[in-house]
């Protein structure tokens, strides 16, 4: 019997990306896999694109009753409930770093006898992730940060509304250019100064590339990485900029804060927008501990956790930024993930899957006994 990969429809609001493209579905089918794809109106790829390459189309939500041996592939976390999960699952669940609610979420897999291969923890022999959305997360984060800055300048004190949908990168770039031109004129012709922390990583490069694509010069972008942050924060350069983009991946060890509420209370603060691309507000290791909770594409900014004197400050904390440009980000991600998916039938012996399964088992072993025993 062929190995079955069941691509489920996403349920997270505004999520349009896919970890499998029609092109990678075609490659899997040609390699002997049976690919089932749930119909979805939200996914950036049309159903007929998958059907044209030979995928079996099934109804949305049918993964719940799929044969237990099927592999359920998705992108974002499953809806929260207490139903045990018996399948093999591949998606981002955001629990392996012990985020808020991790034990309850993880116990569903343990109680159901299932296995979670978290996409964030699919790594090669050197510990590098085999696929990531980092570049496009930084790219989209910089775009939203500029839109937020322009909105504040043009409409002070007015909460920003929902973000528009974009079908391509050129459409996003043109939209942002159109938004910031009148804001710069209103701002006495001054262009915003930006600081990108983690600028040498894929996420940071994406942020810098968007600023450049939008017409900004290098001298308006302060790029900080390990050498510039080695002295430890908070960094006064951030408060002195208009826009701050945090692109540093949150690891298991604490990172000294890049900013604090105290550092942003200085009377000379210029900062108006924080875009925390890493977006881990529920972690005690969060290096941007000035906000709590998340924003969304419907409500793209939130205030800091304390009122501050000086310019209005808004925080962008959206945990699926690349869906702003879903086709380009999905095309790249699915192509990076494909080599690993092609080895799924050998996952009991294949390194990337063995490592991911061991990570899952290690986290399950750390569950409180009460979570193991829940019915």
Question: Does 195 show up as a binding residue in the annotation?
Answer: no
**Residue 374: predicted pLDDT:** 52
Q: What is the CA radius of gyration of the chain?
A: 21
**Residue 372: predicted pLDDT:** 54
Q: What is the mean pLDDT of residues 78-107?
A: 92
Give the CA count within 13 Å in the CB-facing half-sphere of 100: 10
Spatial neighbors of 14 by CB under 8 A, at least 6 apart, are 296, 297, 298, 320, 323
E-only strand ranges, 239-349 = 243-246, 273-276, 314-316
Note the pLDDT tens digit of each residue in 23-80: 999 999 999 999 999 999 999 999 999 999 999 999 999 999 999 999 999 999 998 8
**Which domains are seen in the chain, by residue range?**
4-131+328-366 (3.40.50.720), 133-324 (3.40.50.720)
Question: Does 319 show up as a binding residue in the annotation?
Answer: yes
Which of 69-73, 176-180, 211-215, 253-257 shows the lowest per-residue confidence on average (mean pLDDT)?
253-257
pLDDT range class, residue 375, cuts 50, 70, 90:
very low
**Residue 102: predicted pLDDT:** 92
Q: What is the pLDDT of the chain when averaged over all its residues? A: 94
Question: Does 318 show up as a binding residue in the annotation?
Answer: yes
Q: What is the mean pLDDT of residues 135-153?
A: 98
What angle separates helix 134-154 from helix 326-341, to the nearest 10 degrees?
160
The residue with greater pLDDT, 111 or 1, is 111
pLDDT range class, residue 99, cuts 50, 70, 90:
confident
Note the pLDDT tens digit of each residue in 105-130: 999 999 999 999 999 999 999 999 99
- Residues marked active site are found at 76, 94
pTM for the full model? 0.89
Note the pLDDT tens digit of each residue in 155-185: 999 999 999 889 899 999 999 999 999 999 9
pLDDT range class, residue 227, cuts 50, 70, 90:
very high
Do the Cβ atoms of 260 and 308 come closer than 8 Å? no
Question: Does 44 show up as a binding residue in the annotation?
Answer: no
Question: Does 153 show up as a binding residue in the annotation?
Answer: no
**Residue 43: predicted pLDDT:** 97
């Amino acid at each position: 019997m062929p190995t079955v990969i069941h691509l489920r429809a996403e349920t997270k609001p505004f999520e349009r990306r896919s970890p499998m493209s029609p092109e990678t579905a075609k490659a899997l089918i040609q390699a002997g896999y049976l690919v089932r794809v749930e119909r979805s109106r939200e996914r950036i790829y049309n159903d007929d694109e998958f059907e044209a390459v030979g995928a079996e189309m099934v109804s949305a939500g049918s993964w719940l009753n799929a044969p237990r041996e099927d592999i359920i592939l998705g992108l974002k976390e499953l809806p929260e409930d207490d139903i045990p999960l018996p399948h093999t699952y591949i998606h981002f669940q955001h629990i392996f770093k012990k985020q808020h609610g991790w034990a309850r979420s993880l116990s569903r897999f343990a109680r159901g006898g299932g296995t979670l291969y978290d996409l964030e923890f699919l790594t090669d022999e050197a510990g590098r992730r085999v696929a990531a959305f980092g570049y496009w997360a930084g790219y989209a984060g910089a775009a939203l940060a500029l839109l937020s800055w322009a909105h504040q300048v043009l409409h002070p004190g007015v909460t920003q509304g929902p973000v528009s949908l974009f079908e391509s990168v050129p459409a996003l770039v043109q939209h942002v250019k159109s938004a910031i031109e009148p804001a710069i004129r209103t701002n006495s012709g001054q262009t915003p100064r930006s600081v990108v922390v983690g600028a040498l990583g894929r996420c940071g490069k994406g942020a810098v590339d968007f600023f450049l694509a939008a017409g900004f010069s290098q001298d308006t972008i302060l790029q900080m990485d390990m050498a510039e942050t080695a002295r430890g924060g908070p960094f006064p350069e951030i408060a002195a900029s208009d826009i701050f983009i945090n692109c540093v991946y949150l690891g298991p060890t604490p990172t000294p804060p890049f900013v604090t509420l105290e550092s942003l209370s200085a009377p000379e603060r210029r900062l108006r927008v924080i875009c925390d691309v890493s977006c881990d507000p529920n972690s005690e290791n969060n290096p941007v501990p000035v906000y709590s909770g998340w924003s969304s594409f419907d409500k793209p900014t939130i205030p800091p956790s304390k009122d501050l004197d000086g310019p209005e400050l808004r925080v962008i904390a959206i945990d699926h930024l690349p869906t702003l440009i879903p086709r380009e980000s999905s095309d790249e991600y699915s192509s990076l993930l494909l080599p690993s998916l092609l080895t799924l039938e050998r996952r009991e012996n294949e390194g990337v899957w063995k490592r991911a399964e061991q990570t899952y088992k290690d986290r399950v072993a750390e569950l409180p006994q009460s979570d193991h025993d829940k019915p």
